[in-house]
């Protein structure tokens, strides 16, 4: 089943691949010139470790950008759990083109699969609690949408995509606006002017008193910043379902289950996208 995402990915994939191939190829791949230009080759990609696959469209685009006639036959899809030594795809392509595209294609596949795999681990850890793990804006420059798509593939959710599509009122915004109520009032006016572009208004609170103030000001999404577990439980009781509660700060795989069990709705984890180790995948020419 295709992974749902809020924005069309084709333009982003094209932009990402343009940047990657330009960076890697420059004036031309000197080493690939050792291979006869007309030679066709077959190759396979296999996984060396368990995880969740993501990035197949970026992989395909890298190869087809250099050989439009290439075929990539996938044996797994974005979002699928994969196992060590599993065949992921077979490739038929021009030899020079595939050698030149190989590193960029694998870079996308390994990075995005790593993000999806980490999201899956966190999502599995809180399964059954009713809470959802979501990402943040702590992404690699230039790969924001790609990484957020990978989080979706791993079973997580997306926070705002960027500064342009939602309002997050933080401590400094509240201070500059003169308090929670004035900040909320200003945010509602900004959101109304932005129309459909603004998907939500969220306000950060640092105490139970601030939570009460935010609710009184009509907040429908509230970020609980560095709350203790007991404070989160109290916040959920005070909230009583009126607003979406999100826990943030000092979240780890070891603590996320206990946080989810306090009754919060969402838990944001920057590590999903900023602390990733590429999944070990390998391409081999065959035949």
Q: Is 275 a catalytic residue?
A: no
List the one residue out of 49, 84, 47, 39 whose CA is nearest residue 284: 47
Q: Give dist(CA 61, CA 271) in Å, integer.
A: 27
Query: How is residue 252 written in tokens?
Result: 């780890």
Q: Given the residues 42, 137, 144, 170, select the one marked as catalytic.
A: 170
Q: Is 206 one of the annotated active-site residues of the chain?
A: no
The CA distances from residue 275 to 74, 140, 152, 269, in Å, are 28, 10, 17, 10
Identify the active-site residue in 42, 81, 103, 199: 103
Active site annotation includes 4: no
Please tell me which residue in 81, 137, 138, 257 is annotated as part of the active site. Answer: 138
Give DSSP secondary structure letters for 161-183.
SSTTS-EEE-HHHHHHHTSHHHH
Gap between the Cα atoms of 74 and 87, Å rounded: 9
Neighbours of 195 (CB within 10 A): 7
Spot the catalytic one: 12, 78, 102, 204: 204
| Residue 148 is among the residues annotated as catalytic for this protein | no
138 is catalytic: yes
- Catalytic positions, written as ranges: 103, 138, 170, 204, 225
């Amino acid at each position: 089943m295709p992974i749902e995402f809020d924005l069309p990915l084709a333009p982003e994939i094209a932009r990402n691949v343009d940047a990657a191939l330009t960076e890697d190829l420059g004036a031309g791949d000197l080493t690939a010139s050792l291979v006869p230009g007309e030679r066709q080759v077959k190759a396979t990609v296999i996984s060396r470790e368990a995880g969740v696959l993501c990035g197949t469209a970026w992989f395909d685009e890298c190869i087809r950008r250099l050989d439009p006639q290439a075929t990539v036959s996938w044996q797994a899809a974005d979002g699928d759990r994969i196992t060590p030594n599993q065949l992921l795809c077979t490739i038929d392509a021009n030899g020079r083109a595939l050698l030149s595209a190989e590193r960029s294609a694998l870079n996308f596949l390994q990075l995005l699969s790593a993000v999806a795999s980490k999201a899956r681990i966190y999502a599995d850890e809180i399964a059954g609690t009713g809470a959802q793990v979501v990402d943040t804006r702590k992404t690699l420059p230039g790969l924001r949408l790609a990484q957020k798509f990978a989080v979706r593939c791993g079973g997580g959710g997306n926070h705002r995509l960027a500064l342009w599509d939602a309002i997050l009122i933080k401590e400094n915004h509240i201070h500059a606006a003169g308090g929670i109520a004035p900040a909320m009032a200003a945010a509602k006016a900004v959101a109304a002017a932005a129309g459909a572009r603004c998907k939500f208004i969220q306000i950060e609170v640092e105490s139970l008193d601030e939570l009460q103030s935010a609710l009184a000001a009509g907040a429908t999404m509230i970020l609980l910043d560095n709350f203790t577990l007991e404070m989160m439980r109290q916040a959920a009781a005070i909230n009583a379902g009126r607003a979406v509660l999100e826990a943030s700060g000092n979240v780890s795989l070891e603590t996320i289950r206990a946080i989810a069990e306090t009754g919060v709705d969402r838990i944001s984890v920057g590590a999903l996208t900023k602390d990733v180790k590429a999944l070990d995948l390998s391409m081999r020419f065959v035949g």
